[in-house]
Copies of this chain bind each other. A is one copy, B any other.
Amino acid sequence: MTRPQRTVILAAQNAANRLADRHTPFVMNDWYVAAFGDEIKAQLLARTLLGRRLVFYRTSDKRVVALEDRCPHRSMPLSAGTLVQDTVVCAYHGFRFNSEGDCIEVPSQATCPKNVGIKAYRTLERGPVVWIWMGEAEEADLSKLPEQDWMEDRQWEHSKGFLSLQASYIRLHENLLDLTHLSFLHAKSFGTPDYAKAAFESEIGEGRFALLRNVVPTTLPPVWAVPTGLTGPGQAARIVRSEFKSLGMHEVSVRFYDCHLPENERPEFQIRTAHMPTPETATTTHYFIVHGRDFAQSDAATTRFMHDQLFVAFNEDVDGLALQEQALANTPAEDLYEFSVASDAPAVAMRRYVLARQQKEAEANSAVALRP
């Protein structure tokens, strides 16, 4: 048996304490995807984000409202109530709240008590997604919203989907910053045997972490070979950039071309995927996905083909990460350790950054609480 010596395990456990994991409290002061815009209608929708129960609806002037989903009187979920003229009426005693979270009616009395209300969260609808700022609405920082122009660009053809992940969002971000698993976890979908061993570069900066991998020449899996026509063995170049853009978005960009053609004669095919993980609880995640391409834009059959093939692969991640979360939950603490290898560098840096973000936020909150 070659489990490492206890001192090595302890060192690994200590190192992990400097990285965000499922035990790290959520970073509230950031933008996360709350929903696809078309999910939010003129009716009440309950959803838990970052451990908070929220209720969503769309007003008559099409704004997206996000409120705490708990009446502060007797804790009835407001999502069990009714939406009346852009206000929410509690199912229990008819307390009414406007879209700012103010209590504006208590039916059993003539006037509404002061100082009563619920938290309203700042939302922003951009292209197909609704972003939510989970910290205090007044402090919502637009500069932290990740760039997503291509998602709103008609030059790109899009499809989207949602997966429910039974694992921490940290594990998903890590998975997305690590392309060496494609040859294994995705061996039957979009991974190829040469992927894991291909050279890679990484970019590690303040809050931006990227992994670049050129697999040239390669044989494309059907999901890319069929729509690009690059079906020949060893015909294609596959140039991948995978980037953590924010706590709420990871973007994967891929360029394909025929590497047998001269450089100035070869058409390029681009695809891009926005992976948008939003924590639901410490160990469950809402996984929103938008996929786009800059070719064959009006070909609905290609959209359907690529979407279906991609979601086979994304489901492999979802299944695999859930198995890991179960192993983490059921391993005695003293036996629990993980070690990293060279290709984990961007993911490890990202996890260190997330923990630092959370710690900074906790310190700021403590300072506020101590304010005289």
The answer to whether A341 and B183 have CB atoms under 8 Å apart is no
The answer to whether A76 and B323 have CB atoms under 8 Å apart is yes
Residue in B4, B52, B108 whose beta carbon sits within 8 Å of that of A335 in the complex:
B52
Report A317-339 CB contacts with B as 1/0, cut-off 8 Å: 00010011011101110011111
Copies in the complex: 3
Pick out which of these stretches binds chain B: A84-92, A223-231, A253-261: A84-92
The answer to whether B108 and A338 have CB atoms under 8 Å apart is no
The answer to whether B116 and A4 have CB atoms under 8 Å apart is yes
Chain B residues with Cβ below 8 Å from A116 are 2, 4, 339
Interface of A is mostly: loop
Chain B residues with Cβ below 8 Å from A72 are 3, 337-339
CB distance from A181 to the nearest CB of B (A): 5
* A41-82 with Cβ < 8 A to chain B: 48, 51-53, 68-70, 72-77, 80
- Are A320 and B80 also in contact (CB < 8 A) when A101-B1, A101-B2, A327-B75 are? yes
Chain B residues with Cβ below 8 Å from A339 are 72-73, 113, 116
Chain B residues with Cβ below 8 Å from A3 are 68, 72, 101, 117-119
Report if A197 contacts B (CB, 8 A).
yes
Report if A232 contacts B (CB, 8 A).
no
The answer to whether A185 and B92 have CB atoms under 8 Å apart is yes
Chain B residues with Cβ below 8 Å from A70 are 327, 331
Residue in B77, B121, B342 whose beta carbon sits within 8 Å of that of A1 in the complex:
B121
Report A341-372 CB contacts with B as 1/0, cut-off 8 Å: 11100000000000000000000000001000
Report if A296 contacts B (CB, 8 A).
no
Report if A100 contacts B (CB, 8 A).
yes
The answer to whether A2 and B120 have CB atoms under 8 Å apart is yes
Report if A18 contacts B (CB, 8 A).
no
Interface hub of A90, A94, A326 (most chain B Cβ within 10 A) = A94
Cα A119 to Cα B74 in complex, Å, equals 38
Report if A106 contacts B (CB, 8 A).
yes
Q: Which 5 A-B pairs have the closest CB atoms?
A: A2-B117, A1-B120, A108-B180, A3-B119, A94-B184
